Structure 1
Amino acid sequence: MNLPRSFLLLGALLASFGTWGQALSPNSQIAALTTDTQVQALVRPFGWEFEELVLGDSARSVYQPYARTAFRWQGKTWYRADLDGNGWLDLLVVGRRRDIPFVFCVLDSGNNRLHVVRNFYSALDERQPMARVVQKRGKSMLCYTSFARRRGASGELTGRRTLLLTYKGGGFIPYEQRPTAHRIRSITYTSRLYYHGQHDIQVAIDSTGLARYSSRSGAADDTTASARYGQRQLRPTQQAEVADLLNYVRFASCSTRYGTGNENHRPRVTLLVTYEEGTKTIRGTSGGGTLGLAQVYEWLEALAVPPTGAK
């Protein structure tokens, strides 16, 4: 996975082409949005949660904790910007579903190929998500905030955190001003989840970009197990993407262990990266560890599990 500089130049050229594509295509569904009703109609096909989306002033009530912050109510619940940098307008939605905040992005991969991205929010760990679009170094990013899942002794919201998120490797991860530039030689990833059965995934990518993968799911009594095995040759652009993602999250500086216990509804994961300077092993006993690492794991798992949520 030692890629020549020419691939970086190719990426810049493709990004420029994406910008031209937006200018030449007047048929973007997101660019044509003008009303809340149109936004609701656009996202409704994505599933039952999106069918319950409420926008406009009717969503104000669930964002009261932000009344005195930079996220104070602005009277609008959706915003357009090129969040993934491909030259096509994307959509940030800040609404509600029933009595809870509902924050997500709809990204246009080009020619109205739309998909929902909401990897930045974990209902297991957070509550009261909120986001807005900000500009930094000429790029559109998300300024995202939320509160801790546990409330204080009097029921008050606690543990508010704010992150600057950029789109990288298929999801939004914390913006990093100084990514590393290690040359990745191989990657091995395993995930084991024990919850109403056993679910195992393993992905190994060698120095040539050949990815071998396996996934296995079985019921608790192991009578209805299913398994998939295979291999594929990653394209040079895919090799560059996963190497760039690992360097962006500064994998070599990450902790070697995340999590405090073996929770039965979260996977135990191990990531082994071999690079020019040595090896790095990262273990997680209760999920992804950091938002950036979780996106690395999701990228790798997509090689073994067919992607979902595409429109």
Structure 2
Amino acid sequence: MKKVFSLLIVCFQLSLFYSQDKKVFNKIDSLNTAKEVQEFLDNDKNKINYYLNVEDRIDYDRYCTLIADSLNLNQKWQKADFDSNGLTDLLVTGKTSDAAKTIYILDKGDHFESKNLSKGQLFEQCSFSIVKDHTIEYHSVKILNRYGFTKRLTENLVYRFGEFIEENKIPERHNILEIQFETSGSHWNKSVLKMEIVSNRDVTWISRNDGFLTTGVYTTKLSKEKFKEIVDLLNYINFENLADEYEVGYSDAATIYLKVTYDNFKVKNIRDTGGMGTRGLRKLYDILDDLKGNQQWTKL
């Protein structure tokens, strides 16, 4: 009877072990103080792309300090497994020569991937990040336009499609028939682009001074995987209910025009001056723009 009981205990322990997520201890797990976080960022071996001065308290202006205090932001760095690969990642806010900046650092196993989370002074007066489980509760004072109007926003961000984007717990599914993506030039960037993707995965690219190919019309065909990525992202960001127009708080910004034809020939048009509409939209723009250099194009 004792042997049977002992065997049952062992089986129970093994079932607990294999039912739990595998957690691997890494460098980030060992960080316990602001000084240790600073040393981790400054270590050339970690290849972190950003310099931050990590302190116990960020020197915001009076208005932003009141918001930070109301959120009880006592610690400027937090840990979580954002990309669900079993390795602890890091979110840290620190000072730069310009203003406070928040970055996230993902442990990819053989390297660290670091990216900027905050949008900068041109777009936000200030921002604050709070880790909750595997998501980020992102508070910001957004600059709505060039006239100085601001709005306080709270967004739940999740790591999807290789970026932190706005969480959508119940994405809708639409039949995407055609996507048109066009960029206008600006004072600082004269390149323009017009690209059309249809549901059979054919792509037409009208190139005009974009720095990749000579001016002309080019075609290619997307892989099933790439087309699915674009469609899945469109559905996840709930494109149908996004605003029709977005604007940034500075002049001479390039404008992005997005037109999606879907379902029974419904049309959604988005005009995004500055390309800062939503994080999900910016990820979509990046994917579409990257097609220029990642496809084999045929000139018509």
Larger radius of gyration: 2
C-alpha distance in 1 between matches for 2:194 and 2:119: 25
Tell me the equivalent position of 2:175: 183
1:4 paired residue number: none
CA distance in 2, matches of 1:216, 1:280: 26
The answer (yes or no) to whether the contact 1:190–1:270 under 8 Å persists in 2 is yes
Work out the percentage of aligned pairs sharing the same amino acid: 24
Measured against aligned partners, the alpha-carbon deviations of 1:166-185 in whole angstroms (never above 9, x if no partner) come to 22233222222332111223
After superposition, residues 81-92 of structure 1 pair within 5 angstroms as 81-92=80-91
Aligned 8 A contact 2:118 2:127 in 1: no
Letter in 2 for 1:293: L
Q: Under a length normalisation based on structure 1, what TM-score does the superposition of the two structures give?
A: 0.69
| Gap runs ≥5 in structure 2 | 1-19, 295-300
- Give the 5 Å matches for 1:212-223: 212-213=204-205, 216-217=208-209
The answer to whether the 8 Å contact 1:120/1:173 transfers is no
Question: 1:246 Cα shift?
Answer: 0.7
Look up the match of 1:106: 105
1:188-267 paired onto structure 2 within 5 Å: 188-213=180-205, 216-217=208-209, 227=213, 233-259=221-247, 263-264=251-252, 266-267=253-254
Aligned to 2:17: none
- 2:271 matched to which residue of 1? 284
Residue in structure 1 matching 2:121, options 123, 127, 131: 123
Q: Once the 2 structures are TM-superposed, how far is the Cα of residue 92 of structure 1 from its aligned partner?
A: 0.7
User: Structure 1 residue 193: deviation in Å?
Assistant: 2.4
Consecutive unaligned residues in structure 1, runs of 5 or more = 1-18, 219-224, 307-311
Q: How far apart are residue 161 of structure 1 and its match?
A: 2.0
Q: Identify which of 125, 129, 144 aligns with 2:138.
A: 144
Partner Cα distance (2:87, 2:206) in 1: 35
Q: Distance in 2 between matches of 1:214 and 1:86?
A: 39
What's the CA shift string for 1:58-96, capped at 9, x where partnerless? x433373335312x232x322221223344432211121
1:125 is displaced (CA, Å) by 2.0
**Aligned equivalents of 1:257, 1:115: Cα separation in 2:** 32
Choose which of 249, 253, 257 in structure 2 pairs with 1:270. Answer: 257
Q: Is the 8 A contact 1:262 1:285 kept in 2?
A: no
In structure 2, the partner of 1:73 is: 73
Letter in 1 for 2:231: A
- Output the amino acid matched with 1:90: D
Residues 90 and 105 of structure 2 are in contact (CA less than 8 Å); yes or no, is this contact kept in structure 1? Answer: yes
Residue 42 (structure 2) aligns with: 41
Q: Distance in 2 between matches of 1:274 and 1:295?
A: 19
| CA-atom RMSD in angstroms | 3.5
SS at match of 2:273: coil
Greater relative contact order (Cα < 8 A, sep 6+) = 1
The separation in 2 between residues aligned to 1:260 and 1:132, in whole angstroms, is 25
Q: Distance in 2 between matches of 1:113 and 1:279?
A: 44
Measured at CA, do residues 252 and 60 of structure 1 come closer, stay the same or move farther in structure 2, by a change above 3 Å? Answer: closer
In the alignment, is the contact (CA less than 8 A) between 1:215 and 1:304 conserved in 2? Answer: no
Q: Which residue of 1 aligns with 2:13?
A: none
Q: How has the CA–CA distance of structure 1 residues 40 and 259 changed in structure 2, closer, same or farther, with 3 Å as cutoff?
A: closer
| Letter aligned with residue 136 of structure 2 | L
Distance 2:100 2:138 in 1: 13
Tell me by how many angstroms 1:129 deviates.
1.5
Conserved in 1, the CA contact under 8 Å of 2:212 and 2:293? Answer: no
Aligned to 1:64: 65
Q: Which residue of 1 aligns with 2:12?
A: none
Distance 1:94 1:262 in 2: 25
Count residues with an aligned counterpart. Answer: 262
Q: Is the 8 A contact 1:104 1:118 kept in 2?
A: yes
| 1:256–1:145 distance in 2 versus 1, CA, 3 Å | closer
Q: Distance in 2 between matches of 1:120 and 1:60?
A: 14
